[in-house]
Amino acid sequence: MANSEADEGKFFKGLKLKIMRLIFLGAPGTGKGTQAALVSKKYGIPHISTGNMLRDAVKKGTELGKKAKKYMDAGELVPDSVMIELVKERLVQDDCKNGFILDGFPRTIQQAEVLDSYLEKNLMPITSVVLLDVDTDFVVRRLTSRRLCRKCGRDYNLLTDPPQADGTCKICGGEIYRRDDDSEYTIMNRLQVYQNQTNPLLEYYEKQQKVNRVDGNRTIQEVQTQIAQIISE
């Protein structure tokens, strides 16, 4: 086993397997997707990223994708009605029976209320909300440095995980590009939208005593440690 895999494993070693229905919250670029993927791998529960689901719909040119693209390109939130139906369809799939991780949803109070109502009706209440706190300057640097492979979709970051020296993908040799919504102007708009529309979710879930804060400015392994402690408790 590679050292990185061994390091990841020790953070989760000994934790009891249980049904976990988690929500990962945080501004764009906080690393919540990375952490959610790690938890998904260790516990065998699906990582449901609404951002990835929407980008896939855009790439395929579906009706949902066409509706969502104009909002995503402007750094605005996709309407609640679209997001709610998308998530509901996903949560009824068999792999969600033992738990799931929601990444990027809910983002508004309305979404949270509809989600809670739906999950409680189906006896699937949320068990914990993990909030990744990261400084704004750090988020902007991280997102403006983000790149994607046009062929296989592999994520890169010019600061922490760059592609090959010739600007191609390490995996498939595909072309590397920057997403339209990763420009500095769009990122700042996304962060403002997050502050205005998503932060109230903290009060909503804090009233339910489900919010657990994690310092996202730390290394990936240090953040893993904090999340593992939350899950074990």
Of 42, 55, 146, 147, which residue is the catalytic one? 146
Residue 146 bears catalytic tag: yes
Of 32, 55, 142, 147, which residue is the catalytic one? 32
Closest of 32, 41, 33 to residue 12, by C-alpha: 41
Of 42, 55, 69, 107, which residue is the catalytic one? 107
Q: Are 147 and 156 in contact (CB under 8 A)?
A: yes
Residue 32 bears catalytic tag: yes
Residue 150 bears catalytic tag: no
Q: Are 138 and 120 in contact (CB under 8 A)?
A: no
The Cα 55–Cα 189 span in angstroms is 19
Contacts of 179 (CB under 8 A, 6+ apart): 146, 148
Q: Are 151 and 168 in contact (CB under 8 A)?
A: no
First to last CA, the chain: 28
Pairing status of strand 20-25 against strand 47-49: unpaired
Size (the chain), residues: 233
Of 67, 141, 151, 179, which residue is the catalytic one? 179
Q: Are 185 and 178 in contact (CB under 8 A)?
A: no
Determine the residue type at 193.
V
Q: Which residues are catalytic?
A: 32, 107, 146, 179, 190
